[in-house]
Structure 1
Amino acid sequence: MQELDPTDRRLIAELRSDGRAPMAQLASRIGISRATAEKRVARMVENGTILGFTVRARDETSSIRAVMMIEVAGRATSAVIRNLKEIPELHTLHTTNGGWDLIAELRADSLGDFDRVLREVRLIDGVLNSETSLLLSSA
């Protein structure tokens, strides 16, 4: 992966803020031409700096959010990750170091859904242990 210069970093920041903005608008915000912005984005996609584009939806105020730390048995991490990605209530999944192997952000519409997701995760072959903390408010 190629090292990013300040213009690349600003372009990525603008894409994170509004990935649907027209390229001309993104370019204007950072003071480069549309063609330059298009070439830079294409280069960053090609070299793997930008892995893809996604949609961020507004969180429902009634949704239940939590962070789950997961311990995985031996070399089962890849299989566990594949299974976890099939659970739609898991919005983000991170590998980590320390006592826990994975950290997942959960979002559920009800306590019943939340409980179901916890059971589904714990039933996945290779999951040894988990600890979940509800997110009560954001600062």
Structure 2
Amino acid sequence: MTKAGVRYVPDELDRRIIAILRSDGRASLSKLSEMLGVVRGTVQNRLDRLLETGTIVGFTVRVREDFETQTIHAMMMVEINGKSPMSVVRALRGFPEIHSMYTTNGNWDLIVDIRAASLADFDRVLREVRQIEGVANSETSLLLSGVSA
């Protein structure tokens, strides 16, 4: 949202910046400027606006697939009660173990991708998520092994 309450819609340049940052979140302003064919100041202004409007909510690290072989990986389905699902989402964003979240249809309101370093960490995350005001119910499944399609 912008200050006037009007939702900001990224244009083509913004989408190109986001695409580059998705593949290289550490790309410098100079590198972005060169790749996009625009001056560094334009990239800085666009990044500032993308952050200010909440279009970009943060930067993350991608690791090679075998890095997380000992990581506890699970999917948690969450039912939210009340009229403020965004307060639950905001609370969940505070957990470093939460990799991603998705809204869904059906019995569950959210699907939460959890990645924890140990069973103790995983247990703590489950306990803390269930204590968030607005979380009515949850069901979690551990992911054991991948299956080829």
TM-score (norm 1): 0.72
> Who is 1:137 aligned against?
146
Report the 3-state secondary structure (helix = DSSP H, G, I; strand = E; otherwise coil) of the residue aligned with 1:45. Answer: helix
How many angstroms apart in 1 are the aligned matches of 2:102 and 2:74?
A: 14
> Who is 1:63 aligned against?
71
How many angstroms apart in 1 are the aligned matches of 2:82 and 2:126?
A: 21
Corresponding position: 1:127 with 2:141: no
CA root-mean-square deviation: 3.0
Query: Number of aligned pairs?
Result: 138
Could you tell me which amino acid in structure 2 is paired with residue 11 of structure 1? I
> Who is 1:20 aligned against?
26
Report the 3-state secondary structure (helix = DSSP H, G, I; strand = E; otherwise coil) of the residue aligned with 1:117. Answer: helix
How many angstroms apart in 2 are the aligned matches of 1:64 and 1:85?
A: 18
Q: CA deviation at 1:72?
A: 2.1
Q: Percent identity?
A: 48
> Who is 1:54 aligned against?
59
Change (3 A) 1:74 1:115: same
Unaligned runs of 5+ in 2: 1-6
Corresponding position: 1:3 with 2:3: no
C-alpha contact (below 8 Å) 1:19/1:53 kept by paired residues: no
Match of 2:109 among 80, 87, 101: 101
Q: CA deviation at 1:38?
A: 2.4
Change (3 A) 1:109 1:3: closer
Change (3 A) 1:29 1:108: same
How many angstroms apart in 1 are the aligned matches of 2:8 and 2:86?
A: 27
TM-score (norm 2): 0.68
Unaligned runs of 5+ in 1: none
